[in-house]
């Protein structure tokens, strides 16, 4: 995780900034704001610069939390978690290939339901 500090730019609506970064396809881990500025924690392989997005949030007041805003952010958060899990799986697979580890993907066997009593059902009937 890498930390990007936007000095002197304090943000009042940190969750709004977080979800704006998510909407702009940043792989953001967390966002924080203190007296030194705004800290944006990004995934190690994120190459985009979040500074312009952070600067666009300077001076914005946090919105009044409404039910629709909460639902919208909840849906965005769930979508982001799925995208983040996929990104992590791709990163691990790439690291395994680079390390020379064998990556195998199990192939599902075709399934067809039995048309009559199977061997196991015959055995279980005799036992019970």
- Tens digits of residue pLDDT in 82-98: 888 888 888 888 888 77
Q: What is the mean pLDDT of the chain?
A: 82
Residue 41 domain-assigned (yes or no): yes
CB under 8 Å, gap of 24 or more: what pairs does 113-121 form?
Answer: none
| Residue 75 forms part of a structural domain | yes
| The 37-42 sheet, strands edge to edge | 2-7, 37-42, 28-34
Domain range for residue 19?
2-98
Query: Are the beta carbons of 17 and 11 closer than 8 angstroms?
Result: yes
Q: Is 43 helix (H, G, I), strand (E, B) or coil?
A: coil
CA 54 to CA 38: how far, in whole Å?
Answer: 8
Domain count of the fold of the chain = 1
pLDDT at 125 over 60: yes
Cα distances (Å, whole numbers) of residue 12 to 53, 59, 69: 14, 7, 17
Would 125 be classed as within a structural domain? no
């Amino acid at each position: 995780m890498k930390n990007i500090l936007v000095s002197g730019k304090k943000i009042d609506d940190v969750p709004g900034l977080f979800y704006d970064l998510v909407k702009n396809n940043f792989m953001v881990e967390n966002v924080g704001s203190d007296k030194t500025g705004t800290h944006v924690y990004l995934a190690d392989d994120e190459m985009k610069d979040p500074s312009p997005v952070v600067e666009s949030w300077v001076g914005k007041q946090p919105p009044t939390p409404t039910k629709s805003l909460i639902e919208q952010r909840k849906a965005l958060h769930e979508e982001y978690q799925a995208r983040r899990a996929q990104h992590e799986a791709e990163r691990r697979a790439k690291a395994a290939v680079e390390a020379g580890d064998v990556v195998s993907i199990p192939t599902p066997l075709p399934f067809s339901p039995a048309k009559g009593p199977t061997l196991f059902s015959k055995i279980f009937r005799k036992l019970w």
